[in-house]
A and B are shown apart, each in its own frame.
Chain A
Amino acid sequence: MTRRTTQLFAATALAGMGLATTAMAERGSDGQLNLLLWQAPSTLNVYLSTGTKDMLASSLILEPLAAFAPDGSIIPRLAAEIPSLENGGISEDMTSITWKLKEGLKWSDGTPVTADDVKFTADYCMNDEGGCAQAAKFSGITSIEAVDPLTVKITYDGPRPNPFDAFVGSQAPVLQKAQFESCMGAASASCTAQNFGPIGTGPFRVTDFRTNDVASLDANPEYREADKPAFATVNLKGGGDSSAAARAVLETGEYDYAWNIQIAPDVLDGMLAAGKGKLEVDFGATVEHIKLNMTDPSSSLPEGERSTLAHPHPILSDVKVRRALSMAIDRQLLNEIGYGDTGRATCNMVPAPEIFAADNPDCLTQDIEGAKALLDEAGWVPGGDGIREKDGQRLKMLFQTSVNPVRQDFQALIKQWWTEIGVETELKTIDASVFFGSDPGSPDTLVKFYADVEMYTDVYDGTDPGSFLSEHTCASIPSPENQWQGENAARFCSETFDAMSVEMGKTAGLEARAELAKTMNLMLTRDEMVLLPLIARGRVSVSSNALAGVQMNAWDSEFWNVADWSRAAE
């Protein structure tokens, strides 16, 4: 891994500095690039996006000031350099950051890129009526000003130890002011032409966009590197499912690249055996995990009191039970069955970047006997049918997750292990659009958590897990008072943890933040066992052997270096 990372870093550094790695190539000499996104993009304006697919598509066209490289470091895009305390880009008190644009940048229509465009983009997204999907990236900004045509200064309402959210990464790219000027606020909905055909600085520009179907792009004639991109046109097709997408690249060879492949390892191996393509994997901050409900979801409670702090969970409040449930799970086996090379068993909610990942391998070995002993100790004794009981109550769990073949396999396995240690398990699956939605009227959402146990994948933006960990405070618990809006679905509430979270908001410096993040992560997983991490999932795509230059990136758009992609010599 480390060797690979260094290689990657070397390559990205070269690309980032604008040194032509494939100097022979000429712009548009390699014909058409065929990309397949089985979830089709709905819009090309990432600020109105409702999913990752839109961000990917727009990252071919729009660019931020800086981007994340595969190793998690920040590299300049439109910015001339990355602001830091040393170069004066970040002010001493850490309340403002100043970005300098590269000189001579042009939009694909030939007009110059200026600081005004950057300022406009921030205003566009910070407008309350626009419903900007990336508003969180711009939170805490008090003012943004264009100091001169190439300089823009962002001021925050307080010290920002990590100011790299606005205009960093493909979720917050720069829009052209001239094009979007009339689309501020409520008008954003009627700007179809703009949203479907944004003018950008990226390697490609839109020629035709059909929502939820297909996008046709061609090389941007004004792209800042004269010999790039190598491809003249891009066909970005959507639709189908992930196994069909993998088939189109690996077996029929109709497409060059397919995004987000989620199929069983043995099926994937079978497809790879055709020898037409390869797997692209990189590991980021994506963890498949189990959340244990700390409050009582029983349906005998009146509506409005179910799954609230008023009623602690009658079984799971005991840490011994939680630990026993975790010990009974064989994470290595889960990974082998569900993910293979595209996942890794983990005990951490923050498995990467390396500096933030705690040393915590204890849960990786399954221990059925130990789990049984722990349950005995907690007073749960096996009843007539092997299911444990205590004070007339059966040890029974309702285990919910979204519809997904891998998750259903995991459910079956985990149910078996839990039955072995005397825990009765009822399984339930919910349609993903309901489960991940936040309709307060639906009982089946993951935040409402009307079940004892639930499983899904959590992820955080950027490379710093500070704000992600801080989501597990008492204040973030979903409840009827906040219309069930809150990230702390496990309803974990601890004063010690809350204090650490406050501290995290004030801590600067990578080392110190990493130390604190590790402690917080261990508290949630190893010590309190509220979250049971299972698998660190890689970001998985497949690319054809006829495509060169692909470099998976877990922290930003996987098309981050699409300008360097080219047709491989056969």
Chain B
Amino acid sequence: MLNFTIRRTLLAIPTLLFISLVIFLLLEASPGDPLGDVPLTVPPEVKERMREALGLGQAWYIRYVLWLKQFFWVEPLHWFDQVFGTSYSAGMQRVISFQSRSPVFDVIAQRVPQTLTVVGMSYVIGVLIAIPIGIISAYKQYSWFDQLGTFVSMVGFSMPTFFTGVVLIIIFGVKLQWFPSIYDTTHVVRDWPSFLVQVKQMVMPVTVLALYNAAQISRFMRASMLDNLNQDYVRTARAKGLSEKTVVLKHVLRNSLIPVVTVIALGLPAVFGGAIITEQVFKVNGLGQLLISAIHANDIPMVLTLTFIFAILIVAFTLIADIVYGLLDPRIRYD
């Protein structure tokens, strides 16, 4: 397994470089203009000069290599300097966003906390409620619990978050006035009352996202459990006189986790990607909102950097999923 991990990690480097090139070319080729939002009153020749100031006058391969250098050399140097107080990166251009002309990484660092608290929390909650629901639904197939679970999760999944979010805002924000409809990203938790404020402003976005995530994961959990509950080994285990709890929670659950692990491993990088629509509806302004506004503004350095970090996470998590497969089912081997 160690061998496999090392081999895969090494293989990841060319993969990621290739992915970054494809993303770059895609962004280059897709239509759009970083200056699309500039008022129509700004004359074309001024726009042309603004475009040159953004570095768009150069050929695409020069800009790509420049980005590679900035991402893999200047940025690490900059962090190094920050930590050790050195000044190796002095005078070097970091990755700069087109929209704000500020370093992309600073903006990302600003956005990570709210995304991790809101989207991350909702994912954790989603998984925590989905797995028990999935197990019980499968174990008591066609019971009222299962029927209700199926109904809620399918409705939850088929209702888009732009709809459920607004419904929640109208009920709990406007009519009942329980929760704020706008998330305050500058809020700092210092003491108990400020913690309560934070919880209050997180309730609605977390609910919307958790419902959506739980719906999906519980479906996979249930299906996979059902598949395994009828297997011969379960009969054997029961015949051996193992308690029902051990049979279900140890043997069946363990064997049913493979698809669930896949779904979760695909979902975790998405946590970093943020939740575009939910962040928009509740004004959380995390990474999802950052990405979508950067895409709309054709902010190539920002989109490229964000999606590339996303790609790194995807490659990492698929690797982790593959390793977990091996742990869950020792028969799976890659060597």
Contact = CB atoms under 8 A, between A and B. Distances in A.
Given A40-B293, A212-B285, A438-B47, A252 B36 contact: no
Interface in B126-172: 166, 169
Contacts of B283: 237-240, 244
A247 B169 contact: yes
Contacts of A196: 100, 102
B43 A240 contact: no
Contacts of A52: 39
B164 to A, nearest CB: 14
B38 interface: yes
Interface in B40-78: 40-54
B191 interface: no
Interface string A445-468: 100000000000011110000001
Nearest to B28: A441
Given A239-B285, A437-B32, 16 more contacts: A43-B100, A52-B39, A131-B53, A133-B42, A192-B102, A237-B184, A244-B283, A248-B182, A252-B173, A254-B180, A254-B182, A433-B32, A433-B36, A434-B32, A458-B40, A482-B44
Given A188-B53, A240-B280, A212 B33 contact: no
Contacts of B53: 129-131, 186, 188-189
B31 interface: yes
Contact of B54 (A131, A252, A433, A482): A131
B185 interface: yes
Contacts of B173: 247, 252
A378 interface: no
10 closest A-B pairs by beta carbon, nearest first, are A131-B53, A437-B33, A442-B31, A437-B36, A485-B44, A211-B100, A239-B283, A51-B37, A131-B50, A192-B102
Contacts of A438: 33, 35-36, 44, 47
B96 interface: yes
B267 interface: no
B93 A50 contact: no
A210 B40 CA distance: 26
B107 interface: yes
A128 B53 CA distance: 9
Q: How large, as a class, is the contact surface on chain A?
A: 35 or more
Interface centre among A188, A468, A485, A486 (most CB of B within 10 A): A485
11 contacts: A42-B100, A43-B99, A48-B101, A50-B34, A133-B42, A189-B96, A212-B107, A436-B37, A485-B44, A485-B48, A487-B43
Contact of B181 (A42, A254, A434): A254
B289 interface: yes
A484 to B, nearest CB: 9
A52 B40 CA distance: 10
Interface centre among A43, A192, A459 (most CB of B within 10 A): A192
Contacts of B184: 237
Interface residues of B, number: 62
B226 interface: no
B106 interface: yes
Contacts of B235: none
Contacts of A439: 31-33
B68 to A, nearest CB: 19
Contact of A132 (B35, B48, B50, B111): B50
B185 A212 contact: no
Contact of A43 (B29, B33, B93, B101): B101
Interface of A: 36, 40, 42-43, 48-52, 128-136, 186, 188-192, 195-196, 208, 210-214, 216, 235, 237-241, 244, 247-248, 251-252, 254-255, 431-434, 436-439, 441-445, 458-461, 468, 482, 485-487
B32 A240 contact: no
Contacts of A136: 41-43, 46
B170 to A, nearest CB: 8
Contacts of A251: 174
B36 A436 contact: yes
Interface of B: 29, 31-54, 93, 96-103, 106-107, 110-111, 166, 169, 173-174, 177, 180-182, 184-186, 279-285, 289-290, 293, 296-298
A131 B181 contact: no
Given A50-B34, A241-B280, A133 B46 contact: yes
B39 to A, nearest CB: 6
A444 B32 CA distance: 9
A570 B303 CA distance: 47
A188 B246 CA distance: 66
B285 A238 contact: yes
A248 B284 CA distance: 14
Nearest to A471: B43
A486 B36 CA distance: 14
A42 B49 CA distance: 19
Given A131-B54, A136-B42, A136-B43, A40 B33 contact: no
A244 B181 contact: yes
A50 B37 contact: yes
A436 B42 contact: no
Nearest to A271: B174
A104 B319 CA distance: 66
Nearest to B44: A485
Contacts of A441: 29, 31
Contacts of A135: 46, 49
A434 B295 CA distance: 11
Contacts of B99: 42-43, 50, 211-212
A212 to B, nearest CB: 5
Contact of B185 (A131, A195, A213, A432): A213
Nearest to A456: B40
Nearest to A458: B40
Given A212-B99, A212-B289, A255-B182, A444 B31 contact: yes
A541 B98 CA distance: 28
Nearest to B45: A485
Contact of A252 (B38, B51, B102, B177): B177
A351 to B, nearest CB: 16
B101 A189 contact: yes
Contacts of B296: 432-433
Interface centre among B35, B110, B281, B297 (most CB of A within 10 A): B35
Nearest to B180: A254
B326 to A, nearest CB: 42
Given A51-B39, A214-B185, A434-B31, A239 B289 contact: yes
A247 B49 contact: no
Contacts of A133: 38, 42, 46, 50
A238 B43 CA distance: 27
A212 B100 contact: yes
A195 B101 contact: yes
B37 A210 contact: no
A460 B39 CA distance: 9
B36 to A, nearest CB: 3
A192 B44 contact: no
B101 A188 contact: yes
A43 B96 CA distance: 13
Contacts of A442: 31-33
B169 A212 contact: no
A417 to B, nearest CB: 27
Interface centre among A132, A244, A443 (most CB of B within 10 A): A244
A444 B52 CA distance: 23
B106 A192 contact: yes
Contacts of A241: 280
Contacts of B49: 128, 131-132, 135
Contacts of B103: 192
Contacts of A431: 32
A443 B96 CA distance: 29
